[in-house]
Amino acid sequence: MDQSGDGPTGASACLSVVAERLEALVHRSQEPSVRKVLDDTQAAAEEVGKAWSGSFLGYHATVYYAALTVPPAGAHFSPEWGLRDTFADGTVGDWMEFRPEDVESAIQVAAGNPDLISLYALRDEMAVEFDGAQLEMLSILEPWKVDAFVERLYDRLDKMAVVGPARVLRTMLPRGQIMSRDSKAVTQGMRKPPHLSVLADILSIRDAIDKTAELSRLSRQAQRHFSRQGRSDASGTSVFVGHGRSPVWRELKDFLTERLQLDVDEFNRVPVAGVTNTARLSELMDSATMALIVMTAEDEQADGTFHARLNAVHEVGLFQGRLGFHRTIVVLEEGCEGFSNIQGLGHIGFPKAEIGAAFEKIRHALEREGVVRPAVSDNVQPSKTL
């Protein structure tokens, strides 16, 4: 499938396939048995870690308190002296070296002998799928980076990475110079404590699960974005102008057609014999990419206030239901009472009978929704706010 040539609909379809693959993996990782193995093994490794010497230097890394138990009060391991006999300031307590495999085996037993091999395989599978899905998503999004939302999503995706156990372990290493008089340990260099190796494996599995789940969520966000964009594109390319009896709307129509080179429709523009008003409005909604409803002060109420014609109010509701709030803009004349929830909607005000004062804000709204390109040089400059 062409990832960009099919437009937003094609991009949405490609992203949906990616999301489904990722969601299947995430679903497997969320099984209670998987969570239990991770929790139990991490808890066992952390408990054994309480018996550790605390030093990464040479054989110190495999020194733990006797029986891998928590050192009692007064016990102390000295990285400076290690297990050397000293008269003062040295190691105190029953500390000893352990084989790495014995430490790892003790953790396994404490965790209930879980099947870690299958989890390591799941981690590797997720890492491979993550890399492939990430590249595929970046490829899909690349042509659409002119869209601010897509650009932010692209940048976020580009920075994501699954962290392997070696990298996790590196984050645990001490910073700065390590001082020791234990020449044996110094000559052996830095080593990884066995309980931290197990812990790094568990944390890397968790990271693969979390990153895959996040990538899955982002793929769905992108898919929904392109799906909405596709529906918007499919809805048409013309701008609908709704209005009452006041002729000021004609100035807006001229601005849209002559200055912005847009196709404009309005309810009474093309009467069609034998077509009901409902059918005609449905056709107009299908062909519209954006709606501008001009509400002018025409109908006087008993309290002396003026309201817009009911047909204009009706059109606001219809087009907001079809195009959404951002693509249905009320152009409200000064002195015309807005309906109850007008403050929560996108609207642009203009002085009585002077709709031209609103043109720059109207163009800004059209630019924001991608209906027209931002102006490079013109007498009418985009406004920063509606």
Burial annotation 293-322 (CB, 10 A radius, 16+ → b, else e): bbbbbbeeeeeeeebbbeebbebbebbbeb
Inform me whether the pLDDT recorded for 186 exceeds 80. Answer: yes
The secondary structure of residue 95, as a DSSP letter, is E
Amino acid at 12: S
Q: Which residues contact 132 (CB under 8 A, 6 or more apart)?
A: none
Confidence of residue 356 (pLDDT cuts 50, 70, 90): very high
- pLDDT reported for residue 6: 54
Name the most confidently modeled range: 42-46, 171-175, 340-344, 369-373.
Answer: 42-46
Q: What is the predicted pLDDT for the residue at 386?
A: 40
Average pLDDT over residues 141-147: 88
Sheet order of strands, 336-337 included? 299-300, 306-307, 336-337
Residue 313 pLDDT exceeds 90: no
Q: How confident is the model at residue 312 (pLDDT cuts 50, 70, 90)?
A: confident
How high is the pLDDT of residue 145? 87
Place of tokens 């299908």: 286
Q: Of 25-34, 182-191, 374-383, which range is least confident? A: 374-383
Rounded to the nearest 5 degrees, what angle is found at the Cα of 145, between the Cα atoms of 141 and 150? Answer: 65
Is residue 384 in a domain?
Answer: no
Mean pLDDT of 359-386: 69
Q: Given the DSSP bridges, would you call strands 299-300 and 328-333 parallel, antiparallel or unpaired?
A: unpaired
Tell me if 335 sits within 8 A of 353, measured CB to CB.
Answer: no
The answer to whether residues 219 and 315 belong to one domain is no
Domain assignment of residue 376, yes or no? no
Residue 152: inside a domain, yes or no? yes
pTM recorded for the entire structure: 0.61
Indicate if 152 and 197 belong to the same structural domain.
yes
Q: What is the DSSP string of 254-288?
A: HIIIIIS---EE-TTTS--TT--HHHHHHHHHHHE
Amino acid at 261: Q
Give the pair of three-digit tokens for residue 63: 């020194």
Mean pLDDT score, 126-143: 96
Q: Would you say 63 and 81 are in contact if contact means Cβ atoms under 8 Å apart?
A: no
Q: How many residues does the chain have?
A: 386
Q: Do both 37 and 118 map to the same domain?
A: yes
Average pLDDT over residues 154-182: 92
Per-residue pLDDT, averaged over 265-287, amounts to 71
Q: Are residues 96 and 241 in the same domain?
A: no
Kindly tell me if the per-residue pLDDT of 380 is higher than 50: no
Supply the pLDDT for residue 272. Answer: 58
Residue 282's pLDDT is 77
C-beta of residue 133 within 8 angstroms of C-beta of residue 14: no
Q: Please classify residue 277 by burial: count the beta carbons closer than 10 Å to its beta carbon, then call 0-12 exposed, 13-18 middle and 19+ buried.
A: exposed
Stretch 202-220: mean pLDDT: 97
Q: Do 157 and 13 reside in the same domain of the chain? A: yes
More confident of the two residues 300 and 51: 51
Of 233, 267, 298, which closes a domain?
233
Pairing of strands 306-307, 299-300: antiparallel
C-alpha 328/C-alpha 107 separation (Å) is 62
DSSP secondary structure of 97-128: E--HHHHHHHHHHHTTS--HHHHHHHHHHHHH
For residue 216, tell me if it sits in a domain.
yes
Question: Is residue 53 assigned to a domain?
Answer: yes
| pLDDT band for position 64 (cuts 50, 70, 90) | very high
User: Domain of 123?
Assistant: 7-233
Assigned domain for 156 exists: yes
- 127 and 263 fall within a common domain: no
Among left, alpha and beta (phi > 0; psi -120 to 50; other), residue 116 is alpha
43's enclosing H/E stretch is: helix 32-49
Backbone torsion region of residue 304, taken as left when φ is above 0, otherwise alpha when ψ lies between -120 and 50, otherwise beta = left
Burial class (CB in 10 A: 0-12, 13-18, 19+), 25: buried
Amino acid at the residue 301: Q
Q: Kindly state whether residues 214 and 65 are assigned to the same domain.
A: yes
Are 149 and 166 contained in the same domain? yes
Domain tally, the chain = 2
When pLDDT is averaged across residues 99-126 and rounded to a whole number, the result is: 97
User: Average pLDDT, whole number, for the chain?
Assistant: 87
Res 116: pLDDT? 95
Same domain, 283 and 168: no
- Identify the helix (H) or strand (E) that includes residue 251: helix 249-254
In this structure, the answer to whether residues 188 and 314 fall within a common structural domain is no
pLDDT band at 44 (very low <50, low <70, confident <90, very high): very high
Verify that 136 and 186 share a domain, yes or no. Answer: yes
Q: Looking at the domain assignment, is residue 1 inside a domain?
A: no
Name residues whose C-beta falls within 8 Å of residue 268's C-beta, 6 or more positions apart in sequence.
none
Does pLDDT of 2 surpass 50?
A: no
Amino acid identity, position 49: G
Mean pLDDT of 295-304: 77
DSSP 150-216: HHHHHHHHHT--PPPHHHHHHHHSPPS----S-HHHHHH-B---HHHHHHHHHHHHHHHHHHHHHHH
Q: What is the CATH number of the domain that holds 344?
A: 3.40.50.11530
Residue type, 84: R
